[in-house]
Amino acid sequence: MSALPQPGAQLRAMHYADLDAVMTIERAAYSFPWTRGNFVDSLASGYLAELLLHGSELLGYYVAMAGVEEMHLLNLTVAPAHQRRGHARALLEALERRCLQQGLPRLWLEVRASNERARAIYLRYGFTEVGQRRGYYPAGKGQREDAVVMSLPLREA
């Protein structure tokens, strides 16, 4: 696993006080963003949530939920102004380290079927597409979009 892509970047736990900055990025990045309540509930439930920061600037974040012998990535977002710089990979590497520290051998996620860029990042990282959830995501005007289910077996390096 490589170092962080931007010199001086660091990871730290997400806190309630970070949610204004998180919501700014979430709204900028998605047509159907998570709500503040989604983040509050995730933090209250003790889900794993980390920020990638450069100084005081928020570059991205992830939220993941541990299960029995698995971790489920719920949200991974890089600020639009900082995309295509390796930050998503850095966040995935950080999450993989956390999984291995907790003895969790598999990582799961869902991604919009139309989100080809994210799917390509996950495929390059080593995930495989293992299924589909029909109508999983809202798509506007009463429509729904399918999710692609992806999985990654984790091994100690």
Which residues are the active-site residues?
Answer: 110, 122
Measure CA 132 to chain center: 18
Burial class, 155, CB count within 10 angstroms (exposed 0-12 / middle 13-18 / buried 19+): exposed
